[in-house]
Structure 1
Amino acid sequence: MKEQQLVLVDKAVLPEVFSKVLTAKSYLSKNQAKNSSEACKMAELSRSAFYKYKDSVFFYEDQDKSSVVTYSLWLSDDPGVLAKVLTVLTAFRVNILTVNQNIPVDRVALVTISFRCDGVLLEEQQAAIYRAVVEIGGVVKAKRI
């Protein structure tokens, strides 16, 4: 099998069909369309063009414009502690990607939270988020990983 070669191209110089394929894929991933046929109609794209290019055209997320941060937190096994942490994070307008909570041992649960920050976070902003999380009652220990 031939090795895959990828190129990064400005969307503005591509034929319109590729933009429409991306639009249709977006409708599907966000559940705005029930199936590919509906997504193609919404994007004004033929189904044959969609199926021809759907596995070859992808959005590119610039890593300089968003950063993923992961915290490992030890939370006391009390009602509402995790909810408070999530509330504080969303107050900073981050996009929470994953939350993984283990079963509490000795009344402390290990929780790993990953979130995306749009735009480059300055060190001061990262420190402010970390301080806000650490100051929550019930956060026993916190570590950025």
Structure 2
Amino acid sequence: IEIININVSLSCVTLGGHTIGTSACQFFSYRLYNYSNTGAPDPAIDPAFLPQLQSLCPQNGDGSKRIALDTGSVGKFDTSFFTNLGNGRGILESDQKLWTDASTKTYVQRYLGLRGLLGLAFDVEFGKAMVKMGNIELKTGTNGEIRKVCSKIN
């Protein structure tokens, strides 16, 4: 997988990094009940999926409850994460933006094989990306920092 770090809604996103994993309700429940202070859910969420998410993360419920990010195949390393995005079933807003943002949608489509011969094999590309990341040199001292919010300097 090509590692693409993009700044979407003050979040750094690694394309495909959430095919396995969970998130606490507190990090996305605003999308279910009061998106952008509208008092309504995020319109990007599939309306058929919304009641399921709301039952898993009830309003004023336990914000620490963890929900799978890839509801299509929990614990499986596959491409259903990308299918979820295409169906409006991305749990995190930053993940869903990978489908709704024109600059990244093409990559998602390529992992789904929707671009003809340009389709990519997710497992092969992910392996290549891990090798690339392993070759990134460690920055020390004043040459780098660990950011609390990746799009902002501490």
Name the TM-score class by shorter chain: under 0.3
**Bigger Rg, which one:** 1
Higher relative contact order (CA 8 A, sep 6+): 2
TM-score scaled by length of structure 1: 0.23
TM-score if structure 2 supplies the norm length?
0.22
